[in-house]
Amino acid sequence: MHTIHHTKAVILRSISSGEANKRVWLFTEGFGLVVATMQGVRKHGAKLQSQVVDYSIISADLVKGRDVWRLISATLIHNPLTGNIRNPLARPYVRVLSAIERFLAGEGEQNHELWNHIEACALSIEGNSCDAKSFDTLAIWKTLAHLGYISDTGENSSLIQTPFVTALQSITLPLTKKMIKEVNDAIAETHL
Quote the mean pLDDT of the chain: 86
Beta-bridge partners for 155: none
Average pLDDT of 169-189? 89
With 80 as the cut, is the pLDDT of residue 1 above it? Answer: no
The pLDDT tens digits of the residues spanning 175-184 come to: 889 999 999 9
In the chain the domains, ranked by start, together with CATH numbers, are 4-78 (2.40.50.140), 90-190 (no CATH)
With 80 as the cut, is the pLDDT of residue 192 above it? Answer: no
* pLDDT score at 52: 84
Q: How far apart are CA 76 and CA 92, in angstroms?
A: 21
pTM of the model: 0.86
The residue among 140 and 159 whose pLDDT is bigger is 140
Q: Among the listed ranges 93-97, 109-113, 123-127, 181-185, which one has the minimum average pLDDT value?
A: 123-127
With 80 as the cut, is the pLDDT of residue 16 above it? Answer: yes
Distances (CA, A) of 147 to 111, 112, 190: 8, 11, 12
* pLDDT score at 46: 74
* pLDDT score at 129: 67
The pLDDT tens digits of the residues spanning 34-83 come to: 999 988 777 777 777 777 888 999 999 999 988 889 999 999 998 888 77
